[in-house]
Amino acid sequence: MPYSKTRKIVSRQKILESAYKLFSSRSYEEVTIDAVMENCGMTRGGFYAHFQNKTELYRCAIEYAFANSKLANSECNTWHNEREHLTDILDGYLSLEHVNGNNPCPLAFLTSDIALRDSETRQIFADAYSAVNKKVWAYAKTFSQINESDIAPLTAMVVGTVALTRSITDEITVENMLKSTRRHVEIHLGITFDTKSLT
């Protein structure tokens, strides 16, 4: 009996979540199809109903992670204005919790690995980074004096800080890097972070 369309969608989502979790914590070479399928409680045979190979899975996992990120799915609501909303997003991004891998962002968690991938995968990553900058600009322009051309360097600093602090074992250095980047973001955007994110 063939699987229902809903079951196939759910299975694909489980595989993508498993793949992104593994790709964001190990290198591309270290992650195997068997490991992805075992991690999501499915058999290797089920993989080929959704993906042709590991390269396609990697690309789809990146797109899935971006599409389901906090920024991609964020919308202002009645109790948040654009300033508060963007502040909350960046506050969570530049937190110890995020650096330690809770809800990892593909920008910071895959940066070094992406450069080694094929041009199509790098383009997916570049398009996602561009979409992030557009979203940040859409919020920032409503309250900040920052120029649109300054958004990409600002987000590069934010992403770079998280990417680097993931590799540093000295907690004081990690906290200092996060604090310094947060100060720069506050100055450039004219926002104020909650200091509790670093405790």
The DSSP letter of residue 79 is T
Ranges of each domain in the chain: 5-61, 69-198
Hunting for tokens 């937190």 — which residue is that?
95
Q: Which residues contact 53 (CB under 8 A, 6 or more apart)?
A: none
pLDDT digit string (tens) for the chain, length 199 residues: 456 788 889 999 999 999 998 988 888 899 999 999 999 999 988 999 999 999 999 999 988 888 887 777 666 565 578 899 899 889 988 999 888 876 678 888 788 788 888 898 899 889 989 999 999 999 999 999 999 999 999 999 999 999 899 889 999 999 999 999 999 999 999 999 987 667 6
d(CA 93, CA 106): 12
Options 1.20.120.450, 2.40.440.10, 1.10.357.10, 3.40.50.2300; CATH of 69-198: 1.10.357.10
3-state secondary structure 144-181: CCCCHHHHHHHHHHHHHHHHHHCCCCCHHHHHHHHHHH
Indicate if 69-198 has the same CATH topology as 5-61: yes
Which pair of tokens denotes residue 139?
Answer: 């919020």
CATH fold for the domain made of 5-61: Tetracycline Repressor; domain 2 (1.10.357)
**Is residue 61 exposed (0-12), middle (13-18) or buried (19+ Cβ within 10 Å)?**
buried
